Amino acid sequence: MKEEIEKVFMEFPMLKSLEERREARKRNAMFIQELLEQGKNVGFLTIGDTMTYSTYVYLLEHLPEKYLVETVPGISSFVDMASRFNFPLMIGEESLKVVSLNPKMDIEAEIASADNIVFMKVSRSFERLKQAILATGNQENVIMVSNCGKENQVVAYNIEELEEEDIPYFTTLILKKGGMKQWRKFTL
């Protein structure tokens, strides 16, 4: 980014209170609106795809329609993972499901419902996810990546010994019922 471009850091706190998170989002959207009213062009950089579990969406919902918005697609963590580690998200007649892990989810039912499942926000309920994967006999069929593409990236094919407190926020797990082993031959 050019040096003369003004850069503003916006905080989107991950608070337990939904109302407090909403208020922070509204404040950030109002700040952007003020910049737009000053005649400035505003860009919003985000990690991953702008329309897949992205903070960007929360800004959009608070901006009035009078502004012209151009959204540039990004690359979701699970698409990045598949390319980076050379495995197909789905082939042939296989299905793919993307879910945000949450405390109410019946994880075993989710596993039963698709051939390939992307679990986002894994740090929320990792222990439950791990137990469901073990209970369904899918421990050989997973890849889990934390901080995909970053310097501190961590890759795990064996999740049995991992603990929930060791799982960073930016962690994605992909379960391929057809197996992961045959694709690992291409991993450096």
pLDDT tens digits, 46-79: 888 999 989 899 999 999 999 999 999 999 999 9
Give me 106's structure tokens: 């019946």
Range list for CATH 3.30.950.10 in the chain: 77-186
CB of 108 closer than 8 Å to CB of 135: yes
Provide mean pLDDT across the span 109-131: 96
Q: Which of 57-61, 135-139, 144-148 has the lowest mean pLDDT?
A: 57-61
Provide mean pLDDT across the span 30-53: 93
pLDDT at 175: 98
Rounded CA-CA distance 38/167 in Å is 42
Q: What percent of the chain has pLDDT over 90?
A: 77
Amino acid letter, residue 133: I
| DSSP states of 27-71 | HHHHHHHHHHHTT-------SS-TTSS-HHHHHHTTS-TTS----
Rounded CA-CA distance 130/132 in Å is 5
Say which residue the tokens 């051939």 belong to.
Answer: 115
CATH topology of domain 77-186: 3.30.950
